[in-house]
Each structure stands twice: as structure tokens, then as C-alpha cells.
Homo-oligomer: A and B are copies of this chain.
Amino acid sequence: MARGASSREKILEAASDLAFRQGAAHLSLDAVAACAGVSKGGLLYNFPNKAALMKALVEKYLEDFRTRLEEATEGEDSNLPVRYLDLAVAKLERETPSSSGLLAALAEDPSLLAPVKEFNRTLLDRMKAGGGDVGAILVLFLVLEGMRAQNLFGTAILEPEERRLVLERVAEMIGAA
């Protein structure tokens, strides 16, 4: 039982890692199994096929985010934008190989990202419902999305001081301290 859970984790992690390093198109089950220290049979026991693996990658990403967001807000949606900003920045900070699982999923089948779309829409609606400056909320959302994308693409170009500046500016816009 304990072994099962950790195998799944290791496989998921290995998949994200490999996707980022060698390009999502070359992500093979063999490679994932080897990297995770599991046999191919073991991999396919945990995930019946490649699509299932990719789906799990997306779900894990979303689950992580959702959980931490729920923790940060503790049921209350007050100041959601600020919480979201903090969370997203923190996630960006610790080098994100986790989110490159999304890349693998996208490469495998674009429709696998549908849950991400839904999650984002819901989040945006919750933030808008908070009653703040809608324009600022949209800017916040897109700036963060832009940063995430650059990380994912490996085309991040902002210097630390630029990053600080833009995040400060956005925080200001949504009315954080």
C-alpha cells in the first residue's frame, strides 16, 4: 500500500522531469519507467496507458494548486487575488519541473488541458466576485500566466530586479500592502 503510493509519485515526477529535459515529444514509457526506478510492467500497472499517465500529470498539478490555494484562503475568498499572487510566485520560485508535466500532456493530446481551462475560469470568476478592480485582476492573472509560460517554454528572460518590479506593480494594482 505504502509502496503503491510512492511508486505513483515517483513515476509522475520522473515523467515531468523527463518531459522538460528531453522534449515532450520524446517522452516514452520506457524512459519514464527507467527514470522512476520501476519496470515498464509496473508503470503500466499504475497507469493503464500513456494517456492515463498524462491525465494524472494534469490532475496532480491542479490538485496541488487547488489544495494550496484552499489552505491559503481557509474557505474565505477575501483577498483571493493577493493569495493567488503569493502562491503563484512561490510556485514559480522553486524551479518548476512539476508544471512541465502539463507540456507533456499538451503534446500528447491538447484536449487533456481542458481541466486546466476550467480551473482557471473558476478561479478568475472567484477573484472577480471579490469585488476588487476587475481590470487589475485580469492584469494580475495574465502576468502570472505569462511568467508561467516563459518558465515552461524555457524562454524566461526577466532579470530578478525586473521580476520584482513587475510583481510589485501588480501587487499595488490589486491593492495589496
Contact = CB atoms under 8 A, between A and B. Distances in A.
A22 to B, nearest CB: 8
A175 B27 CA distance: 46
Interface string A39-61: 00000000000000000000000
B25 A124 contact: no
A134 B23 contact: no
Contact of A147 (B142, B147, B152): B142
Contacts of A37: none
Contact of A165 (B135, B150, B154, B168): B135
Given A139-B170, A148-B149, A157 B124 contact: yes
A117 interface: yes
A108 B23 contact: yes
Interface string A133-177: 011101101111111111011111110001001101110000000
Contact of A25 (B24, B136, B146, B156): B24
Contact of A120 (B110, B135, B155): B155
A82 interface: no
A110 to B, nearest CB: 5
A84 interface: no
A170 B138 CA distance: 10
12 contacts: A23-B106, A23-B109, A103-B106, A106-B153, A106-B154, A117-B156, A120-B157, A135-B169, A138-B162, A139-B143, A139-B170, A141-B146
Interface of A: 20-21, 23-27, 102-104, 106-111, 113, 116-117, 120-121, 124, 134-136, 138-139, 141-150, 152-158, 162, 165-166, 168-170
